[in-house]
Amino acid sequence: MTQASLQDIISCVSGYDPNAMTVDQAQAIILDFVEPIHAQEKVAIRSALGRTLAQDIVSRIDVPAHDNSAMDGYALRGSDLDPQASIRLSIVGNVHAGQRYQGEVQKGQCVRIMTGAPMPDDCDTVIPQELTLDADAQGVSIPAGRVRQGDNRRLRGEDLTQGEIALARGKILRPADIGLLASLGIPEVPVQRKLRVAFFSTGDELRSVGERLDPGCVYDSNRYTLHGMLTRLGCDVIDMGVIGDDPLALEEAFRSACEQADAVITSGGVSVGTADYTKQIMARLGEMLFWKIGMRPGRPLAFGRIASQGRDAYLFGLPGNPVAVTISFYFFVRDALLRLMGAQAQPLPRLNVTAASAIRKKPGRTEYQRGILSADESGNWNVRLTGTQGSGILRSMSDANCVIVLNHERGDVAAGEQVQVVMFDGLI
Ligand SMILES: Nc1nc2c(c(=O)[nH]1)N[C@H]1C(S)=C(S)[C@@H](COP(=O)(O)OP(=O)(O)OC[C@H]3O[C@@H](n4cnc5c(N)ncnc54)[C@H](O)[C@@H]3O)O[C@H]1N2
Ligand code: MOO
């Protein structure tokens, strides 16, 4: 990777203060520093779900390939229609999807047609069969005013025209995109190689699931939350377990993670505690910034790039508190990983909704509070807090279906005021 150093980037940030960063500043610095990886591979379209498209996909055909009927009914010449009076047309043929009507259709004539069948050359309008009267083998009556010229006809190329970009590079492919690729007859597509992300938890007090919980210890939940969030983002995950507060073991873990992965995520050890060797080791292995961000939860954050054995990786040192891990991941790490994987920016949509009750908020920091969004009897959406908002209380994260984002300058929120929420659906 050849890229600007973090020092270059922060020297351009006005009022840069690592102990008083705003969320916006931190997000901007991170995105500025992260460069997309370039490796790509070809995969069958069914395996491309959730992957990032590595090149533009240009349509080689018109879709649909011909004008065709949107309804089962009768194809007719629109110029025969009389808006004031019913007309009677004679039926000169029949055409199904996959066939082509070869004959001519003259004035006063029509063709029985099925949905998807190509329009006969002389016809430009279809009347659905349920709007017609007195149909028999010879003819059909078209009541006045039921259709206008051009109705119920799907035009050649109305979905995509030959040469048009059907899907742009950087798109994360969803089921409809896979269907679109199939509609173009494309069997495989170039996608970005999956991002490899290594992660581990730090702290002597952590026990892994399956181990005995010794006095004073807690189960490591962060690795499980991170595993879920990274998997949802479509990364290849490398779970490196729990590393105790031992400088040698920590250094070895950082080196090994960096040699295997594009990005390394740790939790714990980024604050000011005496056993927090983590920060020193991070700093020794590369270029690191340690920030106190004006936000809650998620105040401490380490960010940079470390190197070992000629390999380097971006490093995100998240705070240890379980809720802080989730918030830091979604508001800093997610966008950076998306950029790293070559994906188009995918800002998390924010909805304006009503606060069901008052919310305490200090101006001068961004707060992310866990909420439950629901509709009242009139169908108006409002949000209430899940309860205690301590950054160690994972239960209230699990109970929530959204996070309420209260911007930097904002003070207390009164019941009935508008607040912004980010939905968890599909996210956490
Ligand atoms: N004097 C100060 N103390 C603290 C500050 C500060 O600025 N000055 N910041 C507080 C904030 S905010 C946070 S967040 C934490 C972050 O500290 P660390 O990143 O060093 O995290 P730890 O001390 O290792 O752990 C914090 C807390 O979270 C629990 N934890 C850690 N890892 C896990 C895990 N994998 N699974 C479950 N729980 C975990 C850990 O046991 C601690 O209770 O510092 C504040 N203190
Ligand atoms: O990041 Mo800490 O969890 O803000 O409280």
Q: Which of 91, 116, 118 is nearest to 106 (CA)?
A: 91
CA within 13 Å, CB half, 189: 34
The atom of ligand 2 lying closest to the CA of 323 is 3
**Ligand 1 atom with minimal separation from the 202 CA:** 32
pLDDT in tens, 260-300: 999 999 999 898 876 778 899 999 999 999 999 999 999 99
**Pocket of ligand 2, candidates 295, 301, 321, 370: which has the most ligand atoms within 8 Å of its Cβ, to mutate?**
321
The pLDDT of residue 2: 56
Question: Cα(165) to centroid of ligand 1, in Å?
Answer: 48
Q: Is 53 in the pocket of ligand 2 (CB under 6 A)?
A: no
**How many A from CA of 372 to the centre of ligand 1?**
26
Is 185 a pocket residue for ligand 1 (Cβ < 6 Å)?
Answer: no
pLDDT of amino acid 401: 95
- Is residue 319 lining ligand 2, measured as CB closer than 6 Å? yes
Q: Which ligand is nearest to the CA of 302?
A: 1
The ligand with the least distance to the CA atom of 321 is 1
pLDDT string in tens for the chain (428-residue length): 457 899 999 999 988 999 999 999 999 999 999 999 999 999 999 999 999 999 999 999 999 999 999 999 999 999 999 999 999 999 999 999 999 999 999 999 999 999 999 999 999 999 999 999 999 999 999 999 999 999 999 999 999 999 999 999 999 999 999 999 999 999 999 999 999 999 999 999 999 999 999 999 999 999 999 999 999 999 999 999 999 999 999 999 999 999 999 999 999 989 887 677 889 999 999 999 999 999 999 999 999 999 999 999 999 999 999 999 999 999 999 999 999 999 999 899 999 999 999 999 999 999 999 999 999 999 999 999 998 889 999 999 999 999 999 999 999 999 999 999 999 876 64
Cis upstream peptide for 175 (omega within 30°)? no
If 0-12 CB within 10 Å is exposed, 13-18 middle and 19+ buried, where does residue 33 land? buried
Q: Identify the pLDDT of residue 428.
A: 45
Query: Which pLDDT score is estimated for 271?
Result: 86
Point out the ligand nearest to the CA of residue 227. Answer: 1
Ligand 1 in contact with 221 (CB < 6 A)?
yes
Specify the residue with its C-alpha closest to ligand 1, atom 33: 320
Per-residue tokens: 170: 């950087």
218 lines ligand 1 (CB under 6 A): yes
Q: For residue 280, how far is its CA from the centre of ligand 1 (angstroms)?
A: 16
Of ligand 2's atoms, which has the minimum distance to the CA of residue 295? 4
How far apart are alpha carbons 380 and 377 in whole angstroms? 7
All structural domains of the chain? 6-39+195-340 (3.40.980.10), 43-59+165-192 (3.90.105.10), 68-154 (2.170.190.11), 350-423 (2.40.340.10)
Q: Residues 6 or more apart from 389 whose CB is under 8 A from it? A: 369, 370, 396
- Alpha-carbon span 375 to 142, nearest angstrom: 47
Taking the centre of ligand 1 as the mean of its atom positions, its distance from the CA of residue 324, in whole angstroms, is: 9
Token reading at 376: 């009242």
